Structure 1
């Protein structure tokens, strides 16, 4: 006799941004969906994002703002579900929003509104949600996936890995997605912390005295450059510009900082002509926070009035301030990383459906996959877009 049909069409592991979105899309297409999460409540990372207001997308989303071993992989999903598409969903639920700098969109109220919206969308699709259930077993046989979670077993012909990466472990994040991927033949691109503060030591550690000082800069690493604020911390460097560049930084490489990106290349020489009795310290204090100006002045070690300093010495100071080098010793790790770079190798997945090329019925979406966006709502947009792609394929 043929075996009875599975009670579910799809089991989705992980009730974060990607998992909730995928469940809602599949459920509203008439699929019987079971959504499982080990946390006591869904959307925990959504709730803490954007200072509690959820930077839910970015209107400047484009494939070139994502890191991956295959830089073209994200293009298909992102083009089929755009920031404007998600914004339309937000507005359909009456959620007020505002745009901050650089295309970042936030809720006017609370990130809880985004979680409530996603849960309402899941309810429309009759999604069964089980929270507080850790997965103890997952196997595949006879075309069905079997998941044992919280002492209960469930089967379905499709399984979606939406458990994210190991960033922010205090929220319960783990590398479970990678274990599961490997078990079913998917390769893993070495995971590493991304959008993370960088640590300094040695001569650079003197800048720890500036802990709490922030200033707009251009941060560079290799061919990448980001113009945003940098923040000095008791351990090293942070702030949006540093978080952005950290995703591209590799051990042993320098980070270059331009402290005065709005100044002309020969600004010190101009100051010498217009204010010959001023000091380097004084002109730096006009342009930068005092503590930072004083620290940079001490390292430049140019004593005396500008009028008494050679053009060559001032030119060298200008060049150094525009290209001040730090060699980070590392990062603050997954504990402080906003996201994970690396993950399930995209070569093993369909860019259109997120389905495994090796095992039909297996999908991977969101942060679990080797696609990492810039700071500012890009990673949420990848979660929505990749989830939509899988949800429409289930």
Structure 2
């Protein structure tokens, strides 16, 4: 029998999706599964985006321009300007989701066996992108006791080697919901300039900053023009996860030129999705204000309810729509599967994402879960009640 590649065998499973078969089996048995496991917002996509696709008059669905049309990129640059981020259309590459933007960035700056430092826990697919690119992820630990704030800068210094090509952050963070302050970003800016490496910032949750805090982009840091690479996406911003439109943004001309070569190999980003996104860029600020208010309300309820559960420790998110909860158990993977296979309250159960898959350091996060608060408040309250009953039964 032909063999599978070592790279293929080493590709990590998604901690978010690997439990899907168990959830599907539970549903086939007539159970209701409340999904806390995946960041699929229930917020409606702006009607202006949906109408743009419905009402277009295309007669031939042609290839689009590799980097996205100039008019589209100009409009994206205008969006950034409204957020006090000043870039040109030539600094922007339209990609098939933020995922492709990150893959292009990694391919453009790092070779096989090079290293990228990432504060953990981090978005699990970073591991997958790095593995596919032959890059080694070097984790630096952030702790729930510190609300997952940026680890001491000395911890980064210790890990930088001649093979280090970049530091990668997610701001606000998935899975932690932590929002890096301007001061923390400037500390990272200083260290990457000193060591002549890149700072990659995944900023797909930019709009979701809470408690009167303001998001500070690495593209706003002075003197970082050659080091800063931003990964962005419309998936969560406009509740358009299925559109698969993202951006790679950098003022470094060599990086953009190299990333475009990777983009040419996949020909072009999807046409209808670009039409929808170009229209979505006209979404009024009131949309974001209402969505932000809704997520703050959900977060506050979720954290309040989780804190009522014996032995549960929870970090307080300042952005995005995720939180990490530490449970009084040893193995969250086993617990999450047990929830779907063997537990129910009034024929309902919950699906969570075990957090170990968001860490690169073996053994960390084993008793933690990630919760996505993308459901209405009544569902969240019900889910936490079920979780509490489940913990009593599981521990007992």
- TM more than 0.5: no
TM-score by length of 2: 0.27
Give the strand-richer structure, 1 or 2.
1
Q: Which has the larger radius of gyration?
A: 1
Give the helix-richer structure, 1 or 2.
2
